[in-house]
Structure 1
Amino acid sequence: MTTTNPPPFEPSKIELKSIADSKIIAVSLYSTRAEITRLFKFAVKTGQNQVHIAGLPNVLETESLRVEGRGAATIHDVTVSMAKGEHVPTSSAKLSELLKTREKTASALTRCEKALTSLEQYLGSLTVQHLEVSHLDKVLEQYDSTGGRLDAKKVELTEELRRLDTEISNERALITVPHEDSKLQMQAAIGVFAESEGPVEIALIYAVPYATWTAFYDIRVNMDTKENPVTLIYKAAVKQSTGESWDDVPLQLETSTPTFGLGVPTLSPWDLNVYRPAPRATLQSSLSAASPPAPMARRRMRSVSLAVQEEEEPVMAYRSAAVTSKGNVSATFRVPGLVAIPCDGDTHNFTIVELSLTAAMSWVSVPKIDPKTHLNARITNASEYTLLTGSASVYVDGSFISRSVVPAVSPQESFDCPLGLDSSIRITYHPVLKTRSQSGFYNKTATHVFSQRITVHNTKAVAIERLKVVDQIPASQDSQIEVKLVGPALTLAGEGGLAIGTSKRASVVPKPQALSVADGIVAQWDGADEPACDLEALGRDRKLNWICAVPAQGKINFALDWEVSAPANVQVLGL
């Protein structure tokens, strides 16, 4: 019978440094935070192992941390805490050596300056009593030689002193400002029971704030192309200051936003009662204060298992591990290749995808206010990508036109993109023609007839299919004044023209029809072609529009005619 020695009672201790002993293998970046997956590979001994991992980010959200792994072992528990403050050094061997060298250099410079001063004083003290004229040339020669040597040494020592000061300043900065280390003070302790000695893999998955990404776009429109005229370049602006740099990591961008503690709201009782004044006596209310929970310095948790190595390796298990899931997300974008995003808080831009999209071009003008024509593209997101709200730079035929905003757009949804002014569509808003007539024998009525002519000239070499021209007729604010739309003869009730006085109103037809007034010109109440059209309110604002197809190099004309009737002795304001 063979016996095996039981594993030692004291656990084996394994010390790991987060950055040095692991690699980030995945980053899922949301709009306000990031989820980091960091992989550790190390060997365990048979029995209990206590794995200590230092250097995790201070901003790590402990509630989000989970541990997954592979190997012939079982994870017992995880403890997360902040490392105790370590002594920040104020000196170093290099700094001490630099200070000594500087002191010697400064002393040598002082001696050199004193020697120059003494040389000057000596030469100044010589007189004819001490020096014969025949020896003057030799003394001056020695003065010049010695002074030149001392001057050169002074320059050399001054430059050396300046260099030493720079090195000392840099060394002190490295000592007194512990760059990233000060942001990596979180630590984790993991209990691992191994059935046998051998290598294992542990993945730490945790969320950190101070990491964001926002969408922005380049929209390029080719007016000479009818099929997929829009190229939309989907981009991401990423920045992070989490405390650790992301070096050569696969980056995944998430369009969903994680929520915490968000549930279906509950309605409180809504009671009605009879108001009764309170008595004059002072009202007192009792307040109860709940003691806040003690701060959690250490957090113990359990997690699920994740495959991070080859299939033949057994998956580490937790005791009574609870299964969790990330849940459904709106869309996930994986940035191609590996990216490097330092912990600097600066914006780093990446291209997600370039899409060729269909678009329906339309032109809109309100010539009563401004005869200029505005170009708009209704772009259909025919891709599988969800577009997030973001700014867009719009280019038409290679020229920058404007800055716009792309709204949140799901696949197969459409959105409007203004493309600026189109000067090749010229609209003339002719002076209005007015006539007045009077009728009635006893109660005379004055009728004012108005005619507004509009001309559209398309100077393009191609036809335009949808030009919307918007105009209006006046609205009566008095029962004595009646306004009637004559042409185009749009109706809201029954047959004939629309009487839009304020005293009586005909019943509204369920679905008003557009009216063809000429070849390629259709008139309708403004808003009738909008998806969210309110049929009850249609026409009440007295606005209408014409939808026009204008041939290349062609002109079209149409008119707006209306009548205003009122008693002859009534002065109508606003005509």
Structure 2
Amino acid sequence: MSLITSGRFQTTVLGAAVALACSISAQANTLTEKMTLDNVTVFIRGAELFNSGKVTLPAGESEVIFTNIATGLNEQSLMVEADNGVVVQSSGVRRDFLSENVSPEVESLKKQIEAEVREQSKLNVQREVIQAQLAVLESNRALGSEKEGTSVEQVSQMLQLVNGKMNELLMSDIDLREKLVEVEKNINKLNNQLEEAQQKSAQAVNQVVVKFYAPKAASSNIKLSYVISSAGWVPTYDIRVDSITEPVKLGYKANVFQNSGINWDKVNLTLSTGNPSEGAQAPRLSPWYVDLYRQPILSSKSARYDREASVPMAAPAPVMEMQEDRVVQAEMAAAERRAKTSKPLSDYVVTDVGGVNTRFSIALPYNIAADGKGHSVLIKQVDVQGDYRYVVVPKLEPDAFLQVQLKDWEKLNLLPGKSNIFFEGSFVGQGYIDIRRVKETLDLSLGRDKKIVVTRENEKQVTGKAEFFGNSVSQQYTYTLDIKNTRKEPVKLVVQDQVPVSKDASVTVEGLKYDGATFDKNTGEVQWSLDLTPNELRKRGLSYTVKYPKDQQVIGL
């Protein structure tokens, strides 16, 4: 039988063959290359990752799939560069849902579970051995009691020996069962934790797909960078003072965190300052106002305004804090908007409200796991000269706080952050460095010093009760302060107190006596600056009289 083919059929077969050949050629020109993460610039919010690789391309167009790419990258920030005459035609991000993306936390939990399961198997084997030994002993006990010609004494000795051994084995079996219960609990806990970790890391693996054109076959060095949001760093400080006669040892550190889906292994870190957070540390006096009580008007609108007017105006600081919070939130939102633009995030680092923006390039390679936890990175250690003093506000707290006043603090490039304070070789607590409220000097709080003893007592014998003179009432207040330096060296001490400030002309504060202190009539703050020798005791007094109409009620006292 002969096969007859038409011209149309031949054309179809030829087209299919050509298409198949093109498909095979296209597949042959699709390469896969794992990128190496070399450098990372970490910002307060976000990071920019710089990768490198090398590809060998044939002449013409080629498609390369780059792996080891972080999750959550900003596609608009993706930049690909090639050398040796190779042209980057296009690039994009593809999510590979088939590849398993196992986080370091998941890997660690799986290893822990495997170890517990092995321990469980060992304990079960030991129990099986004990059960086999018990069976042998039981058979020997029965055989010994039935064996003829054996004296009662021999049978008794054998049974005693068998029973003792069985008792030992049974007690060992109890111990093994208790251990198995604990192992089972650990396995259940680890499985629950593993399930939670797998849910958190259940995200597609990113790949970057790039089309290249090479005029001729060539090898090309590839540079690839992009921005992610799941990283950042938090500034922290170690402040060490060995003696108030020596400089402050300041350690500037960063807690770097990232949850990008890939580990940063032996990368060169660059830390860039960004949006600071707000905080406060030591007690701070606010103006103390007194005013006359006003009967609220019945009108709902007027009553609301009247209530607002009758509240003491002693809290301008929270309003300022709210305004600063809005500034910080606006800066964070602006940073996120900048991260969505086509330029790299490093082009959008701006000067912070309270200081200068700085980039810290770390010479040593670091390993930062993708676990979302903070990894401490030392930025620098410096000895800082400053003037030491103690500050005490006995009206609020009897303890004196050691402070160091740093000049030229702008050169330190500090950000607001928590500080770990060590004084005379011991950890004394945590403080906070806030550079947004600095005037001439940066005052760092170094903790409490119990060796500065300050008491503030109300002199009841001098303080008079309310006295009525005509249409007015006078109330006298008198306080005595005892201040003692029990340290072995002289100290400078600032003692702060205050008197009320009147907001109504009919309420007056008069007869003010403050024993050589400075007085700010706008805020009512009274301040003594003292130089105390070792074991020196000083006494200071504060008194004033508040006078107001007798038919009115004063609020704020």
Please give the TM-score of this superposition, normalised by the length of structure 1.
0.54
Q: Where do 1:59-138 residues align within 5 Å? A: 59-83=72-96, 85=98
| Structure 1 position 240 matched with structure 2 position 258 | yes
Which amino acid in the other structure matches residue 394 of structure 1? I
- CA shift, 1:39, in A, is 0.7
Mapping of 1:197-276 within 5 angstroms?
A: 197-226=217-246, 229-256=247-274
Aligned partner of residue 541 in structure 2, secondary structure: strand
Residues 150-182 of structure 1: per-residue CA shift (max 9 Å, x gap): xxxxxxxxxxxxxxxxxxx9xxx9xx9999997
Residue of 13, 17, 32 corresponding to 1:16: 32
| Partner Cα separation in structure 1 for residue 204 and residue 548 of structure 2 | 83
For 2:438 and 2:502, the matched residues in 1 are separated by 42
2:447 aligns with one of 417, 420, 438: 420
**Which residues of 2 match residues 392-407 of structure 1 at below 5 A?**
392-407=419-434
Q: Give me the whole-angstrom Cα distance separating, in 1, the residues matched to 2:66 and 2:29.
A: 11
Aligned 1:167-186 pairs, distance under 5 A: 185-186=205-206
Paired with 2:365 and 2:423, the residues of 1 have a C-alpha distance of 33
8 Å CA contact 2:97–2:204 kept in 1: the answer is no
Moved more, 560-569 or 38-47: 560-569
Give the match for residue 519 of structure 2: 524
2:466 is the counterpart of 1:484:
no
- Pair 435,57 (structure 1): closer, same or farther in 2 beyond 3 Å: closer
SS in 1 for 2:372: coil
The one-letter code of the counterpart of 2:528 is W
- Verify the 8 A CA contact 1:34 1:208 in the aligned structure 2: yes
Partner SS, residue 346 of structure 1? coil
Structure of larger gyration radius: 1
Shift of 1:443: 6.7
CA distance in 1, matches of 2:472, 2:100: 99
Q: Which secondary structure state, in structure 1, belongs to the residue aligned with residue 29 of structure 2?
A: strand
CA distance in 2 between partners of 1:422 and 1:215 (Å)? 26
The whole-number CA distance in structure 2 between the counterparts of 1:396 and 1:236 is 22
Match of 2:46 among 33, 46, 52: 33
Which is richer in helix? 2
C-alpha distance 15-544 of structure 1, shift in aligned 2 (>3 A): same
Question: Which residue identity is paired with 2:530?
Answer: C
User: What code does the residue aligned with 1:434 have?
Assistant: V
Alpha-carbon distance change, 69 to 466 in structure 1, aligned in 2, over 3 angstroms: farther
Query: Which letter does structure 1 place at the counterpart of 2:33?
Result: K
Q: Tell me how far apart the structure 2 counterparts of residues 368 and 555 of structure 1 sit (CA, whole Å).
A: 19
CA distance in 2, matches of 1:417, 1:565: 40
Q: Which residue of 2 aligns with 1:546?
A: 528
Conserved in 1, the CA contact under 8 Å of 2:431 and 2:447? no
1:284-318 CA-partner distances (Å, limit 9, x unpaired)? xxxxxxxxxxxxxxxxxxx99xxxxxxxxxxxxxx
Does 2:56 align with 1:43?
yes
1:389 aligns with 2:416: yes
Q: How does 1:312-323 map to 2 (within 5 A)?
A: none
Task: List per-residue Cα deviations over 1:167-215 (Å, max 9, x = no partner).
Answer: xx9xxx9xx9999997563233322222333221111112233223222
Q: Flag the 1:446–1:24 CA change in 2: closer, same or farther, 3 A.
A: closer
Contact 1:358 1:382 in 2 (8 A): no
> 1:455 and 1:55, CA in 2 relative to 1: closer, same or farther beyond 3 A?
closer
Contact 2:75–2:92 (Cα < 8 Å) also in 1: no
Higher RCO by CA contacts (8 Å cutoff, separation 6 or greater) = 2
Unaligned runs of 5+ in 1: 1-7, 89-108, 128-168, 259-302, 305-321, 489-516, 526-537
Query: What's 2:215 paired with?
Result: 195
1:369 Cα deviation from its structure 2 partner: 5.8
Equivalent residues of 1:357, 1:381 under 8 A apart: no
SS of the residue corresponding to residue 326 of structure 1 reads helix
For 1:252 and 1:369, the matched residues in 2 are separated by 43
Bigger mean CA deviation after superposition, 370-379 or 560-569 = 560-569
Aligned equivalents of 1:58 and 1:366: distance in 2?
52
Count of matched residue pairs: 385
Say if 2:48 and 2:346, in contact at 8 Å, map to a contact too: no
Aligned in 2, Cα 1:68/1:381: closer, same or farther, shift over 3 Å? Answer: farther
Residue 460 of structure 1: SS of its match in structure 2? Answer: coil
3-state SS of paired residue (1:337): strand
Following superposition, the deviation at residue 41 of structure 1 comes to 1.0
TM-aligned CA deviation for residue 221 of structure 1: 2.1
Q: Any unmatched runs of 5+ in structure 2?
A: 1-20, 102-127, 147-186, 277-340, 351-356
Name the counterpart of 1:326.
Answer: 347
1:49-85 Cα shifts (integer Å, max 9, x gaps): 3323245334333222110122222211113222363
For 1:339, give the aligned amino acid. Answer: Y
Say if 1:15 and 1:183 are closer, same or farther in 2 by CA, change over 3 A. farther
2:70 aligned residue: 57
Structure 1's 548 and 200: CA in aligned 2 closer, same or farther, altered over 3 A?
same
